[in-house]
Amino acid sequence: MGRVRRGWRAELARQAHAARLEREREAARRVEQERLRIARDLHDLMAHTVSVISLHPDVARESLRDAPEVAERSLAPCAARAATWAAC
């Protein structure tokens, strides 16, 4: 009976160890997924910001002679985005 019990306990210990390793792998996988999600979000945000910064000066340049107030409004988002980036 002692031999069976020792084998049973050893098997339980192996199963507990395997379960612990699986939980650790799953936690690491979730951390990696979250990092990738954050990286994608940051990439999207920066791409949008660069688009805004590059598009608005073109609008301002085109409207500078005919509608200076439009040109001024077009440059405001660029200044705001640039200030946000400079603060980082």
Residue 63, pLDDT above cutoff 80: no
First to last CA, the chain: 68
Question: CA nearest 83: which of 48, 38, 53?
Answer: 53
pLDDT of residue 13: 96
User: If you average pLDDT over residues 27-49, what whole number do you get?
Assistant: 95
Of 63 and 45, the one with more pLDDT: 45
pLDDT > 90 fraction of the chain, expressed in percent and rounded: 42
Q: How many domains does the chain have?
A: 1
Q: How many residues does the chain have?
A: 88
Residue 47 has, within 13 A of its CA and on its CB side, a CA count of 6
Residue 20, pLDDT above cutoff 90: yes
pTM to 2 decimals? 0.59
Domain that holds residue 7: 2-87
